[in-house]
Chain A
Amino acid sequence: MKKILIIEDNDDIRENLEEIFSLSNYNVITAENGSIGIKKALSESPNIILCDIAMPVKNGYEVLESLKNHNTAHQIPFVFLTASAQEKDIAMGKDSKADYYLTKPFDTSDLLNIIKKLLKETA
Chain B
Amino acid sequence: MPKKTILQALFEEATIGILVANQEGVIIEHNPYIEKLFGYNDLELKDKNIEELLPESFRTRHVQHRTSFHKKPAPRAMGANLELFGQKKDGTQFPIEISLSHMTFHGEPYAIAYINDVTNLVEAKKISDDISKIVEESLNEIYIFHAETLKFIQVNKGARQNMGYSLEELQQITPVDIKPDFDLDQFTQTIAPLLNGEEDKLLFETVHQRKDQTTYPVEVHLQYSRLGNQPVFVAIIININQQKNYEKHLIDYSEELEEKVKERTKQLEENRAQIELAFYKEKELSELKSRFVSMASHEFRTPLSSILSSADLISRYEKTEQQDKRMKHVQRIKSSVDNLTSILNDLLSLEKLESGKITSSIAEVDFQDFSSVLLDEVNLLTTDEQQITYKHSGKGIVKIDQHLVKNILLNLLSNAVKYSPNGTDVELSSECNDDILKIEVKDYGMGIPHEDQEHMFSRFFRATNATSIQGTGLGLTIVKRYLDLMNGSISFESKENEGTTFSVEIPQ
Instruction: List A residues at the B interface (Cβ < 8 Å).
Output: 9-10, 12-13, 16-17, 19-20, 23, 54-56, 59, 83-86, 103-108
Contact = CB atoms under 8 A, between A and B. Distances in A.
A92 to B, nearest CB: 13
Nearest to B316: A23
Given A59-B468, A84-B297, A105-B309, 7 more contacts: A13-B305, A20-B312, A85-B297, A86-B293, A86-B297, A104-B302, A105-B305
Contacts of B469: 56
A96 to B, nearest CB: 17
Given A16-B310, A17-B309, A86-B294, A104 B304 contact: yes
Contacts of A103: 301
Main secondary structure of the interface of B (DSSP, over half): helix
B301 A55 contact: no
A86 B335 CA distance: 25
25 contacts: A10-B306, A12-B306, A12-B310, A12-B332, A12-B335, A12-B336, A13-B302, A13-B309, A16-B306, A16-B309, A16-B313, A16-B329, A16-B332, A17-B309, A54-B467, A56-B468, A59-B468, A83-B297, A83-B301, A83-B305, A85-B298, A85-B301, A86-B294, A104-B304, A105-B305
Interface of B: 293-294, 297-299, 301-302, 304-310, 312-313, 316, 329, 332, 335-336, 467-470
B443 to A, nearest CB: 16
A104 B470 CA distance: 14
A16 B330 CA distance: 12
Contacts of B306: 10, 12-13, 16
A96 B336 CA distance: 31
B309 A10 contact: no
A10 B302 contact: yes
B297 A105 contact: no
B18 to A, nearest CB: 132
A108 B302 contact: no
B307 A19 contact: no
A50 B307 CA distance: 19
Contacts of B313: 16, 19-20, 23, 108
Contacts of A13: 302, 305-306, 309
Contacts of B335: 12
A63 B224 CA distance: 110
A59 B465 CA distance: 12
Contacts of B299: 83
A85 B305 CA distance: 12
A108 B294 CA distance: 24
B308 A105 contact: yes
Nearest to B336: A12
A79 to B, nearest CB: 14
Contacts of A108: 308-309, 312-313
Contacts of B297: 83-86
B417 to A, nearest CB: 15
Contacts of B293: 86
The 10 closest A-B pairs by CB, nearest first: A83-B301, A104-B305, A16-B309, A105-B304, A108-B312, A105-B305, A104-B301, A12-B306, A105-B308, A54-B468
A36 B306 CA distance: 22
A92 B299 CA distance: 19
Contact of B298 (A17, A19, A23, A84): A84
